[in-house]
Each structure stands twice: as structure tokens, then as C-alpha cells.
């Protein structure tokens, strides 16, 4: 894509709206606590950015989400955040930033790869892959949080504790929401785009 096309007014406006959604949703209500961790509804604008504008925009929106989450962790917005930041600040920082950045990037790549064959399948796969990657990288991060998550697990198997105690319900709800809302919004945006193009 040419530089001029990438920075067209329509494209920049769309990216700015999605960035604002990421920040506002994450900071003021994109998360609902279930157990120790949060549901992340901010994954929806990340998916939309990746589908509509490509992998780099998906990664950028994911990075922005990660920064907001990290600020919330540092501010100690939940007891879990206080624990992981106090005992494992480096791993926590990397986990917050990397998980949604990589999820947005891969979602954009997957959509690009599949969209030429079947656009609808591409949208659903790209929407579903974000919670998978986000959760998988969160689990990897937790496995390295020896000062906090391992202590929380106590005598239990650490991976079992993470899977059952921290991510199971959250993951399935995030996956379901993403698979329903992101494709629906993508469809609405497509219809609106066609309507405006005719005018």
C-alpha cells in the first residue's frame, strides 16, 4: 500500500476512532472482573483495526491496549495487579504489552491470508484468534511470574491453577463475545461504507 493511501483522511479517522475506543473501553469499562483477572472487551476494536487496516494497525491498537493495562496494573486497580506488579514487574510489563500487540498483529496477518479465499471465514478466524493469542501469552507470562502466581498457586500445580483459577471462564466469554460482536460490527461498517460511497 502506498504511503498516501495509508494516510488518507478516511483511514486516519477510522484508526483514530478505534484507538479512542481501545483507550476508553480499557480505561473506563472495557474490563469486568471474573475472579482474579479481567474480561477484555477491548479485543473487539483491536480485531476491527486488524481486519480493516491490516496487521500493523492491529499491532498498534494492541500495543495501546497493553499500555493502558500496564498503567492500571501499576496503579494497583485490583489485588491481583498489586501482587504481580510488586513481585514480578518486568515479566508483568512484558506480558501486558506483548500479548495484545502480538494478538493484533497475527489477527491482521490471518485475515490478509484468508480474505482472498473466503471473506466471511477470514473475519471469523481473525476475530477468534485474538482471544486465543491474548490468553496463551497471558498464560506464558504467568508461568514466569515466580514471585506472585507461583505463590498464589501454593501446593497446586501452577499450570492447572492458571488454567482453572485465572483464565478458563474469561477466555470462553471473550472468545464468544469476539466471535459475535466483531464480525457483526465489521458487517455494519461494510454496509455503511457502501452507502457513503454511493453518495
What's the whole-model pTM score? 0.87
Whether the Cβ atoms of residue 42 and residue 63 lie closer than 8 Å to each other = no
pLDDT tens figures, 127-150: 999 999 999 999 999 999 998 998
Whether the Cβ atoms of residue 73 and residue 107 lie closer than 8 Å to each other = no
Which pLDDT band, with edges at 50, 70 and 90, does 171 fall under?
A: confident
Domain 3-198 fold is Arp2/3 complex 21 kDa subunit ARPC3 (1.10.1760)
d(CA 192, CA 196): 6
pLDDT tens figures, 67-115: 999 999 999 888 888 999 999 999 999 999 999 999 999 999 999 999 9
Helices (H), the chain: 3-6, 9-27, 43-53, 55-74, 79-87, 89-115, 119-143, 149-153, 158-161, 168-198
d(CA 36, CA 41): 16
Q: Taking each helix axis as running N to C, give the angle between helix 43-53 and helix 89-115, from 0 to 180 degrees, rounded to the nearest 10.
A: 40
- As given in the structure block, the three cell numbers for residue 158 are 501452577
Q: Is the pLDDT of residue 2 over 60?
A: no
d(CA 110, CA 87): 36
Question: Which pLDDT score, from 0 to 100, does residue 54 have?
Answer: 94
- As given in the structure block, the three cell numbers for residue 183 are 464480525
d(CA 5, CA 138): 35
Amino acid at each position: 500500500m502506498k504511503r498516501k493511501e495509508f494516510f488518507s483522511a478516511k483511514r486516519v479517522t477510522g484508526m483514530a476512532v478505534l484507538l479512542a475506543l481501545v483507550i476508553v473501553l480499557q480505561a473506563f469499562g472495557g474490563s469486568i472482573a471474573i475472579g482474579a483477572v479481567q474480561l477484555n472487551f477491548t479485543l473487539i476494536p483491536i480485531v476491527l483495526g486488524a481486519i480493516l487496516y491490516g496487521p500493523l494497525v492491529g499491532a498498534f491498537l494492541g500495543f495501546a491496549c497493553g499500555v493502558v493495562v500496564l498503567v492500571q496494573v501499576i496503579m494497583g486497580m485490583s489485588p491481583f495487579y498489586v501482587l504481580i506488579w510488586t513481585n514480578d514487574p518486568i515479566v508483568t510489563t512484558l506480558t501486558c504489552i506483548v500479548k495484545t500487540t502480538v494478538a493484533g498483529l497475527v489477527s491482521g496477518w490471518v485475515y490478509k491470508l484468508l480474505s482472498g479465499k473466503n471473506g466471511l471465514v477470514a473475519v471469523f478466524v481473525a476475530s477468534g484468534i485474538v482471544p486465543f493469542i491474548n490468553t496463551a501469552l497471558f498464560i506464558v507470562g504467568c508461568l514466569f511470574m515466580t514471585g506472585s502466581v507461583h505463590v498464589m498457586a501454593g501446593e497446586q500445580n501452577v499450570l492447572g491453577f492458571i488454567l482453572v483459577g485465572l483464565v478458563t471462564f474469561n477466555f470462553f466469554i471473550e472468545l464468544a463475545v469476539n466471535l459475535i460482536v466483531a464480525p457483526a460490527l465489521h458487517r455494519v461498517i461494510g454496509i455503511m461504507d457502501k452507502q457513503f460511497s454511493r453518495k
